[in-house]
Amino acid sequence: MNHLARQTSTEQKSDLVLRLLGGESISALSRETGRPRKQLSVWRRRFLEGGEAYLAARQKPGEIEALRAARGDLSRKVEDLEARNQMLSRRVALLDGSRDFSHPYCSAVYAQALEEPDAHAFEVPAWGTHVLVREGPGGKRLAVGARPFASLGPGCDLQAGLEHLRDSGVTSVSLVTDPLWGPEQPELKEAFDICRRFKEIYLVDKAAAGTRISKRHRNRIKHARSRAEVRKIELRDHLDRWLELYRRNVANRKIPQPFTDAYFEQLAEFPDLQTIAVEVDGQIATISMWIPYEDTLYFHDAASSAEGHAAAASYVAFAHVVENFDECRYIFLGGAADFFDDPLDGLARFKRGFANHSHVSYLCSAILAPIASAAASS
């Protein structure tokens, strides 16, 4: 990296930085030039800081503050453009057939893990995913997306998927979108009867500036690490302990739709599942589960014992992942608890303390057959 930096003239660096500020993806520019993303990010930061320092010697204090605010706005816009470019790259790769995408939340295996006696997995080829279809009263067949998020193939044909469900006798469908793997809001609004904001989803973008855990969190983590030990485990080897912790979590939070024991038994066999345990005083006090896919590591679930909560063991688990998992650019932390988008919710504040970026998930639903007709056909 240092050798590349010495061989790059100031003019070349400026040209690359200006391309970044113009909206080009740092990942794409890195691949094109062979220069590491971290080096490009450093050049961009120094470019902006250098311009500010020069102007500080020549401008009035009020003008300097205005310029700093403008620089902050520009940086945020650049990050948003990079995120959009990342999604666009995924869509292009899928549409030209150069990649075989098989998102874990879209797979038949995952959908089957969610099955219950009255709900079965059903493939929607046009969406590249599966839904769960439940037989309701009056002959209604109700479809819901996979939990916790319905990942839909970028560039998928939403209308064709709805038609497939309708032709299969499904009367309604509802799902919560995965903001990093699916169509954007205008496409969703056009296809579904209802498309409304559901939750703010917190992310760590490891390629963005400002990837830093909040000061409050860092203080808790430093204190907690004096008692805690982190280790990677296999969920199948500690399934009984996980179920014990999870049931406690369900009871305390009154989770309205808890996962079944059978679900976790099948999840434990997922080859890519990453499971992190935190031990306090020699006993597992917190377990968190993560699922990697492409450039994103999804937080899936976590639970703690009373001792784990007291020792802030969950802070240690999340900090370990944020600081040490370098295989993915994004760490997808999720949002507030249950069905509410409350920024003051304890879980939202916890995740926000690790995040440096966010996206929005949407609740989408459609009525596919008139209720009266559905009842008449039963």
What pLDDT is stored for residue 373 in this prediction? 44
Confidence bin at 298 (pLDDT 50/70/90) = very high
In this structure, is residue 206 part of a structural domain? no
CA 269, 272, 277, 283 torsion: positive or negative? positive
- Token reading at 30: 């890195």
For residue 244, pLDDT over 60 is answered with yes
Residue 9 has pLDDT above 90, yes or no: no
Comparing 280 with 27, the larger pLDDT belongs to: 280
pLDDT given for residue 3 in this prediction? 42
pLDDT at 129: 93
Q: What is the pLDDT of residue 170?
A: 96
Q: Which of 95, 127, 153 is the last residue of a domain?
A: 95
Q: What angle do CA 106, 362, 92 make, to 5 degrees?
A: 55
CA distance 286 to 267: 18
Residues 141 and 72 in one domain: no
At 47-66, the pLDDT tens digits run 776 765 554 555 556 666 77
- Distance between CA atoms of 37 and 34, rounded to whole angstroms? 9
Instruction: Give the pLDDT band of residue 246 (cuts 50, 70, 90).
Output: very high
Residue 233 and residue 249 in one domain: yes
Concatenating the DSSP letter of every residue in 303-320 gives: EE-HHHHHTTHHHHHHHH
Same domain, 184 and 226: no
Residues 336-352, mean pLDDT to the nearest whole number = 83
The C-alpha atoms of residue 363 and residue 148 are separated, in whole angstroms, by 12
Residues 218 and 350 in one domain: yes
* Cα–Cα distance for residue pair 48/136, rounded to 1 Å: 59
- pLDDT per residue over 146-198, tens digit each? 999 999 877 789 999 999 999 999 999 999 999 988 888 999 999 999 999 99
pLDDT range class, residue 37, cuts 50, 70, 90? confident
Give residue 377's pLDDT band: very low, low, confident or very high (50, 70, 90).
very low
Domain endpoint, select from 95, 118, 149: 95
Domain assignment present for residue 207? The answer is no
Whether residues 229 and 328 fall in one domain: yes
Q: Which of 38-47, 270-279, 300-309, 350-359 has the lowest mean pLDDT?
A: 38-47
Containing structural domain, residue 349: 212-355
pLDDT at residue 211 in the model: 63
- Position 5 scores a pLDDT of 41
pLDDT in tens, 76-102: 666 666 656 665 564 555 445 444 557
What is residue 374's predicted lDDT score, i.e. its pLDDT?
43
Mean of pLDDT values over 291-317? 95
Alpha-carbon torsion 301, 306, 311, 312, what sign? positive
Question: 274, 293, 264: which is closest to 103 by C-alpha?
Answer: 293
Do both 303 and 320 map to the same domain? Answer: yes
Instruction: Supply the CATH number for residue 322's domain.
Output: 3.40.630.30
Q: Supply φ then ψ for residue 169, to 5 degrees.
A: 85, 10
Collapsing DSSP to helix, strand or coil, 353 comes out as coil
Q: Is 251 exposed, middle or buried (0-12, 13-18, 19+ CB in 10 A)?
A: exposed
pLDDT at 127 over 80: yes
How does pLDDT run across 268-284, given as a tens digit for each residue?
999 899 999 999 999 99
The domain tally of the chain equals 3
Q: Is residue 204 part of a domain?
A: no
What is the spatial distance between Cα 94 and Cα 107, in angstroms, rounded to a whole number? Answer: 16
The residue from 39, 65, 95 where one domain ends is 95
Q: Which residue has the higher pLDDT, 362 or 92?
A: 362
Task: Determine the pLDDT at residue 92.
Answer: 57
Q: Are residues 42 and 134 in the same domain?
A: no
Is 205 a member of any domain? no
* DSSP state letters, 25-76: -HHHHHHHH---HHHHHHHHHHHHHHHHHHHHTTS-HHHHHHHHHHHHHHHH
Same domain, 55 and 77: yes
Residue 137 falls inside a structural domain: yes
The SS3 assignment for 278 reads strand
pLDDT of 353 above 50: yes
Confidence of residue 368 (pLDDT cuts 50, 70, 90): very high
Mean pLDDT calculated for residue range 353-358: 92
Structure-block tokens of residue 75: 């940086």
Stretch 207-231: mean pLDDT, rounded? 88
Q: What percent of the chain has pLDDT over 70?
A: 82
Check residue 127 and report its DSSP letter: G
Task: Indicate the burial class of 223 (C-beta count within 10 angstroms; 0-12, 13-18, 19 or more).
Answer: middle
